[in-house]
């Protein structure tokens, strides 16, 4: 065959292959968008009822609560984040701040915040060097042992809340059938472009998947930025140690509590997730870590996630259409992907999460969608990662294994 004809034929095959893939991806991402819109409407309706139920509970009926705040390092806005928990409009609560040792830079900031709010009961718990795979869970176990109450709020150091946070997340736990409350959150950028892009993902991409999962099968996991639970639910799963082998300890905690017959409830309350200023390389590494965690925690769902993105399939349509001379179809697929992601950003990020950036910067969300797809692809390339400067690797069921220290697991592996 003439080389020129062979080249043209090969180009046509590649072009049509790309177009078919683009059409499949456009269809699947459109279906996902439709499911997201339905799930968002459902969530808003349920949230109205939940707010009414919270308002009907008298303050005297609210139980005393222990807030557990593990900290690590002097993060930007740490003082503001911690202070938001000290400013809770709630009858009776205490705050336990946990760190590995007294040299942790975060403790100086925590001490200043504690001095500012002497009326709030608070204390520091030092865990010492971790002897479990997860240093965070090792610290939390020591903090829970020191807690004076049976209702717990576990929250990351980068969470920012309003004074009505405790009342809203603790009240549903008055129902003994409910074992854990988990919250959606809005990303709060640090002021640079890459944290802004990451914040859009937190306010749009992450809650979209959660809302659809809640609609299809109910909540069977938790989101670690802010969770509320009770001592009996923790004891039913064997304590917080049950999650000590996992990076996605929040997912495992919710799943284990659900498996014990308790309800896991997605709260109507939104919290803020304060981001650090990061370079492109740092942002990619951080996002890749979470993608790898999802790959090992929920392998089947993670594979399917690839079909929920829109922008990469729109770009495939451009290349495929250009290759076979169907420029109108190519541009149509790209436009469909762009509009798809703008609608998702506005409806979920602004309409559900309340993040105004998701409205004013909705035109930027398709780029975040593409970035998410790239990290999704990269998540299949390695099982190793760095966590707070320490090397680990992922094993079966999403278990993590430190490469720098030999530590026994507090929980035996399932057979």
The position carrying tokens 């949230």 is: 47
The answer on 177 and 254 residing in a single domain is yes
Q: Which of 299, 326, 342 is the last residue of a domain?
A: 299
The answer on 274 and 173 residing in a single domain is yes
Q: Which of 264, 299, 334 is the last residue of a domain?
A: 299
CA distance 98 to 123: 9
Contacts for 300 with CB less than 8 Å, ≥ 6 apart? none
CA distance 336 to 115: 55
The answer on 154 and 15 residing in a single domain is no
CA distance 200 to 186: 8
From the CA atom positions of the chain, what is the Rg in Å?
A: 23
CA 288 to each of CA 136, 185, 205, 278, 386: distance values in angstroms, whole numbers, following the listed order? 20, 20, 15, 14, 11
* pLDDT reported for residue 2: 54
The answer on 245 and 311 residing in a single domain is no
* pLDDT reported for residue 159: 97
The answer on 288 and 377 residing in a single domain is no
Structure-block tokens of residue 176 = 């003994």
DSSP label at residue 247: S
**pLDDT tens track of the chain, all 415 residues?**
555 454 544 555 676 788 888 899 999 999 999 999 999 999 999 999 999 999 999 999 999 999 999 998 888 899 999 999 999 999 999 999 999 999 999 999 999 999 999 999 999 999 999 889 998 999 999 999 999 999 999 999 999 999 999 999 999 999 999 999 999 999 999 989 999 999 999 999 999 999 999 999 999 999 999 999 999 999 999 999 999 999 999 999 999 999 999 999 999 999 999 998 989 998 999 899 989 988 988 888 899 999 999 999 999 988 887 877 778 888 899 999 999 999 999 999 999 999 999 999 999 999 999 999 999 999 999 889 887 778 888 888 788 888 877 666 666 555 4
CA distance 20 to 14: 10
Residue 297: closest CA among 165, 209, 186: 209
CA 51 to chain CA mean position, Å: 23
CA distance 220 to 205: 19
What is the tally of structural domains in the chain? 2
In a domain, 99, yes or no: yes
The answer on 17 and 103 residing in a single domain is no
Secondary structure (3-state) at 393: strand
Regarding pTM above 0.75, the answer is yes
The answer on 314 and 286 residing in a single domain is no
C-alpha dihedral (251, 254, 258, 262), degrees to nearest 10? -170
CATH of the domain at 263: 3.90.550.10
Q: What angle do CA 262, 263, 268 make, to 5 degrees?
A: 150
Residue 42: closest CA among 414, 351, 415, 285: 351
* pLDDT reported for residue 9: 46
In a domain, 394, yes or no: yes
The answer on 86 and 145 residing in a single domain is yes
CA distance 97 to 82: 9
* pLDDT reported for residue 412: 57
The answer on 313 and 285 residing in a single domain is no
C-alpha dihedral (128, 288, 412, 234), degrees to nearest 10? 70
Contacts for 375 with CB less than 8 Å, ≥ 6 apart? 284, 287, 288, 291
Listing DSSP states for 273-288 in one string gives EEPPP--HHHHHHHHH
CA distance 154 to 185: 14
CA 253 to each of CA 124, 175, 241, 382: distance values in angstroms, whole numbers, following the listed order? 24, 19, 10, 25
* pLDDT reported for residue 409: 65
The answer on 92 and 31 residing in a single domain is no
Structure-block tokens of residue 372 = 């998410």
Structure-block tokens of residue 287 = 């996002």
Structure-block tokens of residue 39 = 């799930």
Q: Which of 241, 270, 299 is the last residue of a domain?
A: 299
CA distance 334 to 65: 51
Q: Which domain holds residue 31?
A: 3-40+305-402
């Amino acid at each position: 065959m003439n080389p020129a004809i062979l080249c043209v034929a090969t180009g046509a095959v590649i072009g049509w292959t790309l177009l078919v893939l683009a059409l499949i991806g456009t269809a699947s991402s459109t279906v996902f968008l439709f499911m997201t819109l339905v799930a968002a409407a459902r969530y808003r309706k349920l949230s109205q009822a939940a707010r009414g139920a919270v308002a009907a509970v008298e303050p005297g009926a609210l139980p005393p609560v222990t807030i557990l705040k593990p900290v690590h390092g002097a993060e930007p806005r740490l003082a503001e984040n911690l202070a938001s928990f000290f400013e809770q409009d709630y009858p009776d609560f205490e705050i336990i701040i946990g760190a590995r040792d007294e040299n942790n830079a975060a403790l100086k900031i925590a001490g200043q915040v504690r001095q500012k709010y002497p009326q709030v009961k608070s204390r520091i718990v030092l865990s010492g060097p971790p002897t479990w795979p997860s240093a965070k869970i090792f610290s939390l176990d020591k903090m829970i042992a020191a807690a004076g109450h049976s209702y717990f709020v576990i929250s990351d150091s980068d969470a920012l809340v309003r004074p009505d946070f405790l009342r809203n997340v603790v009240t549903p736990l008055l129902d003994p059938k409910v074992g854990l409350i988990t919250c959606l959150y809005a990303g709060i950028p640090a002021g640079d472009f890459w944290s802004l892009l990451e914040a859009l993902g937190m306010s749009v991409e992450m809650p979209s998947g959660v809302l659809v999962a809640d609609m299809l099968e109910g909540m069977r996991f938790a989101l670690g930025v802010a969770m509320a639970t009770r001592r009996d639910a923790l004891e039913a799963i064997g304590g917080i140690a049950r999650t000590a082998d996992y990076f996605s300890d929040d997912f495992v905690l919710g799943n284990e509590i659900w498996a014990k017959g308790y309800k896991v409830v997605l709260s109507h309350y939104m919290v803020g997730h304060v981001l650090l200023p990061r370079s492109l390389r740092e942002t990619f590494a951080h996002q890749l870590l979470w993608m790898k965690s999802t790959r090992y925690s929920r392998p089947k769902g993670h594979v399917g996630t690839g079909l929920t993105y829109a922008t990469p399939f729109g770009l495939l349509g451009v290349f495929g259409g250009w290759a076979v001379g169907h420029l109108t179809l190519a541009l149509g697929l790209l436009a469909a992907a762009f509009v798809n992601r703008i609608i998702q950003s506005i409806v979920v990020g602004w309409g559900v999460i309340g993040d105004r950036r998701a409205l004013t910067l909705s035109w930027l969300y398709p780029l975040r969608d593409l970035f998410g797809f790239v990290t999704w692809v990269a998540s299949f390339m390695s099982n190793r990662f760095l966590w707070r400067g320490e090397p680990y690797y992922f094993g079966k069921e999403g278990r993590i294994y430190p490469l720098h220290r030999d530590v026994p697991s507090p929980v035996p592996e399932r057979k």
